[in-house]
């Protein structure tokens, strides 16, 4: 590609800036938190159609995916109407170039307390070169960007010489089953680009992620004699303190994966959600905690679970807060191993 063509491409892309901002604002207005992705997916279906792509819907069939590598147990079982949208470019004539997948996720994480926002999280706000709103960066901007890139080629009278597959998937934030469903449906390519907001860096290594739920059953008692009870909430905090020691060990320089030696704290554990108790003057008899664990490429799921369970068991057997408490571990959501390309 000569310098003249590069300059022409830049000019066309610059001319589509307002379209990109408008499209991103339209997507941000559509709440696509878990279970609410349908309106946003309807929008992208129309956008793919406007680009002249062959548009197809791909559902998440849990029974079909359950035994596939990369499957994660569903966070919500209802998949009715919740689909992945795929737009396919087929080159005119025989394909002479390599195929490419451009993959982005439409689902966004919860907003948190709305009173901590300066405006509604689904009311896009443009300030300078930034657009604010839930999902604007992660990763509706990436979806808009690959659509704009494809439109720019069209305006230049160019077309990719190989098949290009644009994917808007769901459940990236909790299972990855949306992308897995697209793989199962036969959408394969020579390469894939996922335009996540990673400061223009090419990521060639990725940590694994595991979600687990720790459920502790203690013993209720009146506050007049707390020693007669087993405080399930205190037990959960003791267990997470124990997991913190495992997190610290994995982050020690001697234990780091070679690709993460330059990171001071690559592995993060998070106590993301906790619920327990029913009365301020009663020793809580039950507590449930949702925990996210990061781990290195090369560590298999079974190995990670074994270490987590050994750590939790050790705390449950030795910590005073856990004395005689019943501890159960459930795995749901991400069960994703890391990778190095």
Tens digit of each residue's pLDDT (9 = 90 or more) over 262-311: 999 999 999 999 999 999 999 999 999 999 999 999 999 999 999 999 99
Q: Specify burial of residue 326 (Cβ count, 10 A radius: 0-12, 13-18, 19+).
A: middle
Q: Whole-prediction pTM value?
A: 0.93
Alpha-carbon torsion angle 164, 167, 172, 173, nearest 10: 120
Tokens for 160? Answer: 């990719």
For residue 34, pLDDT beyond 90: yes
- pLDDT score at 162: 96
Q: 10 Å Cβ neighbour count for 145?
A: 18
Cis before 165 (ω within 30)? no
Q: pLDDT of 198-230, one tens digit each? A: 988 899 999 999 999 999 999 999 999 999 999
Closest to 148 measured CA to CA, from 314, 7, 284, 20: 20
Tell me the mean pLDDT in the region 168-195. 98
Whether pLDDT at 62 is above 80: yes
The count of other CB atoms within 10 Å of the CB of residue 227 is: 7
Q: With 80 as the cut, is the pLDDT of residue 1 above it?
A: no
- Residue 153's alpha-carbon distances to 49, 150, 163, 230, 329, in angstroms, are 16, 5, 14, 65, 51
Identify which of 20, 137, 38 has the alpha carbon closest to the alpha carbon of residue 82: 38
Residue ranges of domains in the chain, CATH in brackets: 3-193 (3.40.630.10), 205-340 (3.30.70.360)
How sure is the predictor about 117, in pLDDT bands with cuts at 50, 70 and 90? very high
Query: Mean pLDDT across the chain, nearest whole number?
Result: 96
Give residue 332's pLDDT band: very low, low, confident or very high (50, 70, 90): very high
What does R_g of the chain's alpha carbons equal in angstroms? 24
Query: Is the pLDDT at 323 greater than 80, yes or no?
Result: yes
Query: Per-residue pLDDT tens for 142-177?
Result: 999 999 999 999 999 999 999 999 999 999 999 999
């Amino acid at each position: 590609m000569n310098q003249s063509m590069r300059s022409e491409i830049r000019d066309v892309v610059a001319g589509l800036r307002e379209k990109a901002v408008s499209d991103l604002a339209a997507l941000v207005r559509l709440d696509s938190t878990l279970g609410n992705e349908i309106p946003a997916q309807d929008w992208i279906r129309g956008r793919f159609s406007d680009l002249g792509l062959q548009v197809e819907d791909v559902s998440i069939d849990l029974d079909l995916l359950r035994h596939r590598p990369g499957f994660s147990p569903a966070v919500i079982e209802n998949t009715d109407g919740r689909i992945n949208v795929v737009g396919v470019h087929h080159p005119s004539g025989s394909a002479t170039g390599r195929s490419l997948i451009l993959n982005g996720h439409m689902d966004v994480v919860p907003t948190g307390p709305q009173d901590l926002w300066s405006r509604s999280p689904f009311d896009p706000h443009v300030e300078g070169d930034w657009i604010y709103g839930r999902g604007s960066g992660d990763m509706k901007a990436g979806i808009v960007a690959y659509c704009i890139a494809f439109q720019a080629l069209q305006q230049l009278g160019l077309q990719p010489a190989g098949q290009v597959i644009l994917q808007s998937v769901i459940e990236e934030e909790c299972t990855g089953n949306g992308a897995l469903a697209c793989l199962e449906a036969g959408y394969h390519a020579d390469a894939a680009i996922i335009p996540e907001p990673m400061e223009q860096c090419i990521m060639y290594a990725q940590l694994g992620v595991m979600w687990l739920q720790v459920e502790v059953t203690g013993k209720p008692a009146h506050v007049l004699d707390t020693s007669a009870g087993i405080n399930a909430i205190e037990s959960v905090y003791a267990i997470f303190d124990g997991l913190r020691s495992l997190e610290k060990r994995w982050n020690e320089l001697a234990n780091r994966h070679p690709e993460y030696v330059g990171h001071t704290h690559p592995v993060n554990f998070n106590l993301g959600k906790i619920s327990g108790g029913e009365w301020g003057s009663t020793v809580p008899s039950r507590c449930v905690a949702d925990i996210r664990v990061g781990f290195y490429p090369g560590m298999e799921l079974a190995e990670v679970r074994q270490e987590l369970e050994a750590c939790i068991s050790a705390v449950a057997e030795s910590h005073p807060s856990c004395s005689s408490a019943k501890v159960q571990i459930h795995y749901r959501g991400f069960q994703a191993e890391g990778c190095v390309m």
